[in-house]
Amino acid sequence: SQQGEEDPQALSIQEGENATMNCSYKTSINNLQWYRQNSGRGLVHLILIRSNEREKHSGRLRVTLDTSKKSSSLLITASRAADTASYFCATDTGRRALTFGSGTRLQVQP
């Protein structure tokens, strides 16, 4: 079974708007990572947040982590058409392998 579940499953916004995706997980984690997957391509690492961190920024990306609620969110500000992709959260539970969620499909309309 998958550790993380993203919400929503699909999201469609206009260019320039912000996009927020959420991830919930079930067990304690060491860290949580977000990846992007463009259609027909492999996954690209975006950002990692450790269990003792609450917020992290990278360019137009902002990630939050609430370990008490076992949830994380990924915010993409000022979205662009090139941000169209699927976004996955992945959790490190200490078993030395990442467990991926089912992903959020983001469509940014130009």
Partner 1 sequence: EAGVAQSPRYKIIEKRQSVAFWCNPISGHATLYWYQQILGQGPKLLIQFQNNGVVDDSQLPKDRFSAERLKGVDSTLKIQPAKLEDSAVYLCASSSLLASTDTQYFGPGTRLTVL
Which amino acid is located at 101 in the chain? G
Which residue's CB is nearer to partner 1, number 40 or number 59? 40
- Could you tell me whether strands 10-14 and 104-109 are parallel, antiparallel, or unpaired per DSSP bridges? parallel
The residues binding partner 1 (CB under 8 A) are 2, 4, 30-31, 40-45, 48, 50, 88, 90, 92, 95-103
Measured from the CB atom, the residue of 7 and 15 that comes closer to partner 1 is: 7
State the minimum distance, in angstroms, from the CB of residue 31 to partner 1.
Answer: 6
Compare residues 39 and 110 and give the one whose CB is closer to partner 1.
Answer: 39
CA distance 58 to 62: 6
Q: Which amino acid, 17? A: E
Q: Cα separation of 78 and 68, whole Å? A: 29
- Cβ contacts of 38 within 8 Å, gap of 6 or more: 44, 84, 85
